[in-house]
Amino acid sequence: MSFTNSIKLKLGVCFDCHSKTFTLSDQTGPWNATLNPFGWTPDGDWVNGTPIEDITSSHLTVTSPEGVVYGPFAEIFEEIPSLAGVTVTVDPLNIPQSIDPSSTNVGGQALTDGYWSFDWVVKGQHESSEEALHFRCLKSVLVLCDVECCVDRLTADSDPSCGCSGKGNKKAVNAMLTLEAVKAADRCGQKEKAKEHLNNLQAICGNNCKNC
């Protein structure tokens, strides 16, 4: 009997623009026949799914918009999976890059706007059959901290008395519309379109968002 589809991992990811960190949480939740049939089951319940107590390892890999890979690492991920609402804070600037295991460089680049990808792998072993368990969750999060700061600055510097005809006002309006286009494309699952709009917005901003 296979148990590899008994859990559907759900990873919660929140990005803090001020601290430049990600807060992660296990949102898989407890098993419920109607509301959450692919959640974690109580200890010893192998009939309805997989007990969280039988998970033996939890690893995370983070990939930046530029394709720089951080991890895989487990030491800061010891608290999840969890049913207790535990959160884990990840600072991409303070975890090693996996693309060069011999490198002493930590982080190696500034946090940038774009899609950050998270690859969470959880492994375990069935209590009685000793069948190996392997669950995986892939998630991407769109970070827009710098361009949102840029749009705020352009808007703050606009002159209401000049209507829409002033050069600065036109730039602010264009930036605001482009930012909304990025968000709309992301909500609709159009990642490539969102990236295209983001590139356009970064071009509009130029150096205005470098110090945000």
Terminal CA-CA length for the chain:
54
pLDDT in tens, 150-162: 999 998 887 666 6
Between CA 176 and CA 152 the distance in angstroms is 9
SS3 88: strand
pLDDT in tens, 35-86: 999 998 888 787 888 888 888 888 888 888 988 887 777 655 566 788 776 7
- The number of beta carbons lying within 10 Å of the beta carbon of residue 35 is 9
- Confidence band (pLDDT; 50, 70, 90) for 5? very low
